[in-house]
């Protein structure tokens, strides 16, 4: 997984420093794409990009100005292009479009095929199609063949939310040989009918009730695996690393 990340970083390295920094990203997922594919063009990224528990580009983001969803602050950077997510801050995006800035919105892929399509589109928008293709090739090389069937797995998220089949977590589980199951009914339902594997996020640095429930002793009897949140929070080539951890 480390080799995969290094390979992805290397894609972005041999770059002329002269290009104008005129792309602003307002969403963690586009932050990661921007800083992986065209770091030399990044004028600002969101503050979440600096959080190493969520972001795979935390080190690179530390050297880029952070910006919030604030139209005035974004316009002050004179961007040619603003990258944003599908949810949140829609009013800010509308205001930016009104002033003539090009705003491109990306959703979150829910499968590895979706990641390939998304990264092709991202690389095209950033004008680095070759680098996009290289990132996808790195992911495909890192993605080992599907594992043999191994039973059910529940991907548990904070607040006891369980990931359904049509999510990137579901895709990771299927590739690792598990049948993803979603559960409602809380802790009790989970303990009453335990899966073969419980996948949990790595504990964040700061406590919350949402995370506290994941350490309840009633769950101690179920085999578990831990996957860092940053590998799936935004699906990207690095998500192949989550499959590795479960295989």
Partner 1 sequence: MTIRLALLLMLLCLASLLVGGAGLGVPPATILLLLRLPRTVLAVVVGAGLGVSGAVLQGAMGNRLADPGLLGISGCASLGGAVAFYWGLAAASPLALPLAGLLGATFGGVALFGFAARAGTGLAFILAGIALASIASALLALVMALAPNPFALAELGDWLMGSVADKTPAAVMLASVPVAAGCAMLLRLGSRLDALALGETTAASLGFDAAATWRRAAAGVALAVGAGAAVVGGIGFVGLVVPNLLRPAVGERPGALLWPSLLGGACLLVAADLLARLAPMLLPLHAQPRLGVLTALLGAPFLAVLARR
Rg (CA), the chain: 19
CB 57 within 8 A of CB 64: no
Q: Contact between 177 and partner 1 (CB under 8 A)?
A: no
Q: Contact between 189 and partner 1 (CB under 8 A)?
A: yes
The residue among 68 and 127 lying less far from partner 1, judged by its C-beta, is: 68
Helix (H) or strand (E) holding 63: none
State in angstroms the smallest separation of the CB of 218 from partner 1. Answer: 4
State in angstroms the smallest separation of the CB of 186 from partner 1. Answer: 4
For residue 35, what are the CA distances in angstroms to 60, 122, 129?
A: 7, 12, 15
Residues 6 or more apart whose Cβ sits within 8 Å of residue 41: 19, 20, 21, 22, 23, 34, 126
Q: Contact between 218 and partner 1 (CB under 8 A)?
A: yes
Site string for partner 1, 139-168 (x = CB under 8 A): -------------------xxx--------
State in angstroms the smallest separation of the CB of 163 from partner 1. Answer: 15
State in angstroms the smallest separation of the CB of 120 from partner 1. Answer: 30
Q: Contact between 107 and partner 1 (CB under 8 A)?
A: no
Q: Contact between 184 and partner 1 (CB under 8 A)?
A: yes
Please list every residue from 192 through 211 that binds partner 1, using CB under 8 A.
192, 204-211
* Strands 151-157 and 161-162, bridge-based pairing: antiparallel
CB 168 within 8 A of CB 110: yes
Chain Cα centroid distance, residue 109: 9
Binding site for partner 1 (CB under 8 A): 158-160, 184-189, 191-192, 204-211, 213, 215-218, 221
């Amino acid at each position: 997984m480390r080799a995969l990340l290094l390979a992805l970083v290397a894609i972005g390295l041999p770059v002329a420093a002269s290009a104008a920094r005129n792309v602003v990203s307002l969403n963690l997922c586009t932050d990661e794409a921007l800083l992986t594919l065209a770091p030399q063009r990044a004028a600002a990224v969101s503050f979440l990009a600096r959080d190493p528990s969520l972001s795979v580009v935390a080190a690179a983001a530390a050297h880029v100005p952070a910006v919030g969803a604030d139209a005035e602050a974004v316009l002050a950077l004179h961007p040619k292009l603003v990258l944003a997510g599908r949810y949140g801050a829609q009013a800010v995006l509308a205001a930016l479009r009104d002033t003539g800035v090009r705003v491109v919105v990306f959703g979150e892929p829910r499968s590895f095929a979706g990641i390939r399509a998304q990264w092709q589109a991202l690389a095209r928008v950033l004008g680095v199609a070759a680098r996009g293709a290289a990132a996808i090739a790195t992911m495909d090389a890192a993605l080992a063949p599907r594992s043999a069937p191994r039973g059910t797995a529940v991907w548990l998220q904070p607040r006891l939310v369980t990931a359904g089949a049509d999510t990137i977590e579901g895709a990771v589980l299927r590739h690792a040989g598990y049948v993803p199951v979603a559960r409602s009914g809380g802790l009790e339902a989970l303990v009453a009918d335990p899966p073969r594997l419980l996948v949990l996020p790595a504990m964040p640095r700061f406590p919350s009730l949402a995370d506290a429930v994941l350490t309840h002793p009633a769950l101690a009897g179920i085999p578990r695996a831990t996957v860092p949140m940053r590998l799936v929070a935004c699906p990207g080539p690095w998500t192949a690393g989550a499959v590795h951890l479960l295989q």
